[in-house]
Amino acid sequence: MRLTQWVLVVLVSLAAAVGGFWAARVLLVDGGVEPGDPAPAFRITDLHGQPRTLEEFRGKLLLVNFWASWCAPCVAEIPLLVEAQALFGARGLQIIGPALDEPQGVKPFIARFGMNYPVMADFAAGDAANRALGNVQGYLPYSVLISREGVILHIKLGALKRGELHALIEQHLRT
């Protein structure tokens, strides 16, 4: 193959790479939100009727865990989240759990698992926050770790595992 042909191949490859990257951002990752982006503002009413915003958690390492009472993998990870809040809360971790649900569907879980972090069941606002944080399809469970400065650190679709969760928290509490 001559040099000009190789140059052509490299150019086509580069164009394909750019196209693939664009397609992944626009078509696959839905909201196009990824680590390094500033977390979008949200406002969700908690079970006590109090509006909760991203801004009030500034200064904390914030784990936003979207869940629902009808989602078995979500319910399975609640004990891990309760444990993590107890273990790392004093060092600056704050977990919040916006549920894509109605309050009556959520309340039994709070008592059952001793949920020690704020839970919201404001469907419309929770759904809007979920979408704003990149989960346009509404798949659950969906977790987003946000830095003390309000920057997205990590996105997780599917249930978190204990080792993965602790390693992630330790890593970002240190920094």
Binding region for another protein (CB under 8 A): 1, 6, 9, 12-14, 16-21, 23-25, 28-30, 33-35, 68, 70-76, 100, 134, 137-141, 155-159
> Smallest distance, Å, CB 74 to another protein?
7
In which element (H, E) is residue 111 found? helix 103-113
Angstrom distance (rounded) from CA 108 to CA 94: 22
Largest CA distance in the chain: 72
* Closer of 19 and 38 to another protein (Cβ): 19
> Smallest distance, Å, CB 33 to another protein?
7
> Smallest distance, Å, CB 166 to another protein?
16
Per-residue exposure over 145-172, b if at least 16 CB sit within 10 Å of its own CB, e if not: bbbbebebbbbbeebbeeeebbebbeeb
* Closer of 89 and 123 to another protein (Cβ): 123
> Smallest distance, Å, CB 90 to another protein?
28
Instruction: Look up tokens 């659950």; give the residue.
Output: 140
